[in-house]
C-alpha cells in the first residue's frame, strides 16, 4: 500500500485524538478465512494510521472489540438483534456498543468486511464509538462496476491514465494495485466487477479461453478477498472467432453446445464466476440480429449455459440505429431501447438482467429518465450510470454526479401509480425481479490519484455509497468523502461541500442548454463543437435553425417518444407549457423568443447561463486557492491544474455557444455583454 495522499483516496486513516483508550487493546476475530484475513490487514493499516500502533488479534469473546459472523457471536446477541439479522440479506450487519464492548457481526463474512469499513468510516468522521448502534443492509443486491479497459492498456472513455489490469497486450504481472482497488471497492460496498471493455476486440475475445483464464483466475482470487465477484464482457460471435464455427446463431445446437462447454471451462477455474456482460447488435458489435433472432434468443442461449453454475447474463440495452440519416426526422435514437426490448417482456430467462442506461441517449449532463426502466414487469433490470465523465468534463472539469443520480433514482415513473420510483424498481421492490441493482462505468486508471482529478474520487465514492443506500443525500455523501479524504477543518469541509454540490449545475450552465445535450467535439467528446454531430449518423441532433432549436418528440407533431412514458409524464412532456424547462428542448422545437417559466426567453437563458457558468468556475478557483494552507501541496497543485483546464473549457463553451446562437438568431444579449 503506497503512503502518499493522492493514492490513498478516502482511506487516508488520519490520526485520531481523544479516542477511547480501552478500545485500543486486542481485537477478537472469530472467523478464519481469506476475507477475515483482509479484515485484519485493513484494521492493521487503519490502526497504524490513526493511532500509530498495531493491534493484537485473538479469538477471545471478552475483548473490547469482537468481530464475527452471527453464528460465532450467538451468546453476545439478544433476541431482537438475532431477529433483525434474520430478516435481512446475507450482506446485512450490526455494529453495537453494549456491555462495555463493541460487537461487530453480520450474516456472512462479506457482511463483516462491510461492517469493518463502516466502523472505520465512522471513526474517521469523529463518531463517538460508545454511541454506535448501526444496523445496515444494502438496498440493491447487485452493486457493480464496469471497467472499459482494453488489453493494450488503453481505457475507452478513460481519463485517469492507462489500465491497472492490462499493459502492452498482456495482463499485468504485478497485481498489487488491483488488490488496492478491490479494497477501495469493498469500502464502499461494491460486490461485482467486469474487468474488460463491453466493446470486446479481437484479442480480448480469447479471455474466456485457456490462453487467459489462468491469469484471470488470479484476478478473481484477489477480488474474492474483498467480496467482489468477477464478470467478463464477451464477444457474441466468439464461437466463430475462437473455434471457427460457421455461425453464432443462438438457436443453432452447435453454438449452444459451444457456450455450455465454455461455461464449464470457466467455472472449473473460477467457481464463483459471476457471468457475462454483453453488448450485442450495438455500434457494429455482433449479435442475434445477424441471424434474424431477437435479444431474448441471444441472452437466453447464454443464460442456459451459465444456469447450472448460478451465473448471470447482463445484457446491455444500448441498442440503436447508429447509421441514421440526418435528413430523417422520424427516426429517434431516444426511442430505440424501449422499441427493441419492451415487446420482449416475459421472454427472458430468470438469470438474465437487462442493463439500461439512466437516460435514453448516452450519459448527457441532462436528459430524461429512460422510460424502459420499470416498463418490463417480467424481466430483470438494472440501471447503468457512468462515473467516468465522458460528457461531463472528463475528470478535468469538476462535476459531482451524485445529485444527478439522486434525481434519477427519485424519479417517479407512475408505472404502478405514485411511488413507483426508479429507486424502488432497480432495488426489486416493485416487480418480481429475481436479480436487479445498479451498475456504473468506472472512472479509475493508473494515474497516481486513480481518477485523474483528485476531486473526481468523490464520484466513485459516492456511487458506491448511493448504490448501498439510495436514501443518503448528496450532501451527506460529499461530507463523508471530504472529511475522510482531506480532514475535518471547517473551511475545507464547507468550501468543498459547496463546490461539489454546485458543480453539476455549473457544468450544465456553460455547456448544452435546456436538455439539448451533445454539442461536443466529435470522437473526444471534450469541449464545444455545436454542429459537430449535427449532420452525422449518430442521431444526436439539436436542429437549430434561424427560428429556433430543439427536437420535437411529441406525439402530435414529432417522433412520438413521449408515448413511452406513463401518465402524467406523457402529457407533461408533450405539453411545452408543462414540460420542465431543464428538459424543454429535449422534447420540443421552439422559437428563440419562447418564454421559459423563469420569465426569460430561450435565447436570453442561453446567454445568461453560459456567462454565469464561466463566472462560477472562477469562483471555484478562488475557493480552491483559499484552501492552499490546509491541503497538502501535491493534491492542491494537481487540482489547481485541473481547474485551469476547466477555466479554459468554460470560456470556450461560453463564447462558442453564445456566438453560435447570436449568429443563428440575430437576437442580441439584453445585457450587452461581449459575444463574438
Q: Assign residue 251 the CATH number of its domain.
A: 3.20.20.80
Residue 562 is assigned to a structural domain of this protein:
no
* 98 in the same domain as 175: no
pLDDT tens per residue across span 57-101: 999 999 999 999 999 999 999 999 999 999 999 999 999 999 999
Looking at the structure, tell me whether residues 48 and 127 fall in a common domain: yes
392 and 318 in one domain? Answer: yes
Residue carrying the nine cell digits 461531463 = 392
Asked if residue 41 is part of any domain, the answer here is yes
Whole-number Å distance between alpha carbons of 476 and 109: 27
Indicate whether 1 pLDDT > 80: no
pLDDT tens, residue by residue, 109-165: 999 999 999 999 999 999 999 999 999 999 999 999 999 999 999 999 999 999 999
DSSP code of residue 160: S
CB atoms within 10 A of CB 308: 11
User: How would you label 565-594 residue by residue, b for 16+ Cβ within 10 Å and e otherwise?
Assistant: bbeebbebbbeeeebeebbbbbbbbbebeb
Three-class DSSP category at 397:
coil
Look at residues 83, 78, 74, 108 and name the one whose alpha carbon lies nearest to residue 93.
108
Residues in a beta bridge with 106:
93
- Answer yes or no: is 63 within a domain: yes
Cell of 638: 494537481
Number of folded domains that form the chain: 3
Residue 634 has pLDDT above 80, yes or no: yes
For residue 574, being part of any structural domain is answered with no
Confidence of residue 22 (pLDDT cuts 50, 70, 90): confident
- Residue 193: which of 154, 235, 214, 164 has the closest Cα? 164
**pLDDT of 549:** 98
Please write the tens of the pLDDT for every residue from 571-626.
999 999 999 999 999 999 999 999 999 999 999 999 999 999 999 999 999 999 99
Kind plus residue range of the DSSP H or E element containing 66 = strand 65-67
Same domain, 414 and 537: no
Q: What percent of the chain has pLDDT over 70?
A: 100
Dist. CA 446–CA 254, nearest whole Å? 41
Q: Is residue 272 assigned to a domain?
A: yes
Among 136, 162, 196, the domain boundary falls at 136
Lookup: cell for 340: 427493441
Is pTM beyond 0.75? Reply is yes
pLDDT for residue 29: 98
Query: Taking the alpha carbons of 299, 199, 277, 458 in that order, is the dihedral positive or negative?
Result: negative
For residues 50 and 191, membership in a common domain is answered with no
Do 132 and 146 belong together in one domain? no
Catalytic residue (one of 294, 390, 480, 574): 390
With the C-alpha atoms ordered 153, 313, 370, 344, is the resulting torsion angle positive or negative?
positive
pLDDT digits (tens, 9 = 90+) for 283-335: 999 999 999 999 999 999 999 999 999 999 999 999 999 999 999 999 999 99
Say what angle helices 253-269 and 213-224 make with each other, to 10 degrees: 50
Examine residue 582 and state whether it is found in any structural domain, yes or no.
no
Considering 102, 136, 170, which residue would you say is the last residue of a domain? 136
| Annotated catalytic residue, options 74, 283, 494, 641 | 283
Bridge partners, 384 (sequence order): 357, 439
pLDDT level of residue 423 (50, 70, 90 thresholds):
very high
- Cell output for 553: 418528440
Last residue in a domain, options 136, 171, 198? 136
Chain segment 508-517, per-residue pLDDT in tens: 999 999 999 9
Helix (H) or strand (E) holding 458: helix 457-468
| CATH code of the domain containing 45 | 3.30.379.10
Q: Give the count of beta carbons closer than 10 Å to the beta carbon of residue 561.
A: 26
Quick one: 47 and 148 in the same domain?
A: no
DSSP 439: E
pLDDT at site 83: 98
Does 492 share its domain with 471? no
Distance CA 55, CA 33 (A): 19
Which pLDDT tens digit goes with each residue over 524-543?
A: 999 999 999 999 999 999 99
Instruction: Please check whether residues 115 and 38 belong to one and the same domain.
Output: yes
Q: How far is 115 from 122, CA to CA, in rounded Å? A: 11
182 lies in the same domain as 315: yes
CA atoms of 52 and 12, how far apart (whole Å): 13
Query: Are 319 and 337 within one domain?
Result: yes
- Whether the pLDDT of residue 570 is over 70: the answer is yes
- Do 609 and 641 have their domain in common? yes
- Does 390 participate in catalysis according to the annotation? yes
Q: Does 572 reside within a domain? A: no
- What's the DSSP call for residue 668? P
The residues pairing with 234 across neighbouring beta strands, listed in sequence order, are 278
Segment 445-471 mean pLDDT:
98
Q: What is the CATH number of the domain that holds 668?
A: 3.90.1330.10
Write out the H or E segment, with its range, that includes residue 85.
helix 79-87
Question: What is the reported pLDDT for 542?
Answer: 98
Judge whether 606 lies within some domain: yes
**Catalytic residue of the set 109, 362, 423, 480:** 362
Instruction: Please give the residue range of the domain that contains residue 99.
Output: 21-136
How much is the pLDDT for 17? 87
Res 3 pLDDT > 90: no
First to last CA, the chain: 52
Amino acid at each position: 500500500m503506497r503512503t502518499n495522499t493522492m493514492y490513498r483516496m478516502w482511506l487516508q486513516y488520519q490520526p485520531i485524538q481523544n479516542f477511547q483508550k480501552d478500545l485500543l487493546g486486542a481485537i477478537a476475530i472469530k472467523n478464519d478465512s481469506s476475507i477475515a484475513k483482509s479484515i485484519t490487514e485493513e484494521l492493521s493499516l487503519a490502526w497504524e494510521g490513526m493511532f500509530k500502533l498495531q493491534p493484537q488479534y485473538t479469538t477471545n469473546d471478552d475483548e473490547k472489540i469482537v468481530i464475527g459472523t452471527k453464528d460465532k457471536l450467538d451468546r453476545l446477541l439478544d433476541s431482537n438483534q438475532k431477529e433483525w439479522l434474520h430478516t435481512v440479506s446475507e450482506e446485512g450487519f450490526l455494529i453495537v456498543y453494549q456491555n462495555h464492548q463493541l460487537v461487530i457481526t453480520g450474516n456472512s463474512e462479506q457482511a463483516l468486511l462491510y461492517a469493518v469499513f463502516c466502523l472505520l468510516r465512522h471513526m474517521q468522521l469523529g463518531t463517538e464509538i460508545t454511541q454506535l448502534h448501526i444496523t445496515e443492509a444494502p438496498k440493491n443486491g447487485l452493486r457493480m462496476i464496469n471497467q472499459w479497459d482494453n488489453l493494450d492498456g488503453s481505457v475507452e472513455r478513460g481519463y485517469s491514465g492507462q489500465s491497472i489490469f492490462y499493459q502492452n497486450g498482456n495482463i499485468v504481472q504485478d497485481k498489487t494495485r488491483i488488490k488496492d482497488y478491490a479494497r477501495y471497492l469493498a469500502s464502499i460496498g461494491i460486490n461485482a466487477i467486469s474487468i474488460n471493455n463491453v466493446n470486446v476486440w479481437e484479442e480480448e475475445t480469447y479471455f474466456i479461453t485457456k490462453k487467459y483464464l489462468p491469469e484471470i483466475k488470479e484476478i478473481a482470487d484477489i477480488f474474492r478477498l474483498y467480496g467482489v465477484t468477477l464478470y467478463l464482457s464477451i464477444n457474441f460471435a466468439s464461437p466463430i472467432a475462437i473455434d471457427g464455427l460457421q455461425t453464432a446463431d443462438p438457436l443453432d445446437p452447435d453454438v449452444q453446445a459451444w457456450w455450455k462447454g465454455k461455461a464449464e471451462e470457466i467455472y472449473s477455474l473460477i467457481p464463483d464466476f459471476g457471468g457475462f456482460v454483453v453488448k450485442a447488435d450495438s455500434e457494429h458489435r455482433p449479435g442475434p440480429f445477424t441471424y434474424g433472432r431477437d435479444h431474448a434468443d441471444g441472452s437466453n442461449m447464454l443464460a442456459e449455459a451459465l444456469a447450472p453454475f448460478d451465473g448471470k447474463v447482463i445484457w446491455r440495452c444500448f441498442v440503436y440505429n447508429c447509421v441514421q440519416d440526418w435528413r430523417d426526422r422520424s427516426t429517434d435514437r431516444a426511442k430505440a431501447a424501449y422499441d427493441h426490448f419492451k415487446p420482449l417482456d416475459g421472454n427472458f430467462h430468470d438469470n438474465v438482467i437487462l442493463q439500461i442506461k439512466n437516460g435514453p441517449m448516452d450519459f448527457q449532463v441532462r436528459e430524461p429518465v429512460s422510460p424502459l426502466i420499470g416498463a418490463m414487469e417480467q424481466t430483470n433490470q438494472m440501471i447503468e450510470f457512468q462515473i467516468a465523465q465522458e460528457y461531463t468534463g472528463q475528470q478535468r472539469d469538476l462535476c459531482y454526479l451524485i445529485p444527478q443520480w439522486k434525481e434519477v433514482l427519485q424519479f417517479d415513473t407512475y408505472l404502478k401509480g405514485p411511488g413507483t420510483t426508479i429507486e424502488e424498481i432497480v432495488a426489486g421492490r416493485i416487480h418480481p425481479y429475481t436479480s436487479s441493482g445498479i451498475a456504473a462505468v468506472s472512472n479509475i486508471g493508473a494515474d497516481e490519484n486513480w481518477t485523474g482529478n483528485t476531486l473526481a474520487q468523490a464520484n466513485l465514492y459516492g456511487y458506491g455509497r448511493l448504490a448501498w443506500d439510495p436514501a443518503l443525500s448528496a450532501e451527506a455523501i460529499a461530507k463523508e468523502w471530504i472529511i475522510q479524504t482531506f480532514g475535518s477543518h471547517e473551511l475545507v469541509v464547507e468550501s468543498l461541500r459547496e463546490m461539489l454540490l454546485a458543480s453539476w449545475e455549473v457544468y450544465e450552465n456553460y455547456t448544452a442548454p435546456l436538455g439539448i445535450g451533445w454539442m461536443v467535439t466529435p470522437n473526444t467528446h471534450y469541449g464545444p463543437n455545436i454542429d459537430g454531430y449535427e449532420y452525422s449518423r449518430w442521431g444526436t441532433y439539436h436542429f437549430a435553425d434561424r427560428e429556433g432549436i430543439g427536437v420535437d418528440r411529441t406525439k402530435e407533431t414529432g417522433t412520438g417518444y413521449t408515448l413511452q412514458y406513463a401518465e402524467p409524464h406523457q402529457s407533461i412532456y408533450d405539453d411545452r407549457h408543462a414540460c420542465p424547462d431543464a428538459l424543454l428542448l429535449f422534447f420540443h422545437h421552439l422559437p428563440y423568443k419562447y418564454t421559459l417559466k423563469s420569465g426569460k426567453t430561450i435565447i436570453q437563458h442561453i446567454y445568461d447561463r453560459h456567462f454565469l457558468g464561466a463566472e462560477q468556475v472562477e469562483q471555484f478557483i478562488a475557493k480552491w486557492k483559499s484552501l492552499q494552507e490546509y491541503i497538502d501541496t501535491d493534491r492542491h497543485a494537481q487540482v489547481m491544474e485541473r481547474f485551469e483546464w476547466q477555466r479554459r473549457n468554460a470560456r470556450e463553451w461560453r463564447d462558442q455557444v453564445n456566438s453560435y446562437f447570436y449568429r443563428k438568431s440575430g437576437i442580441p444579449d439584453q445585457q450587452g455583454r461581449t459575444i463574438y
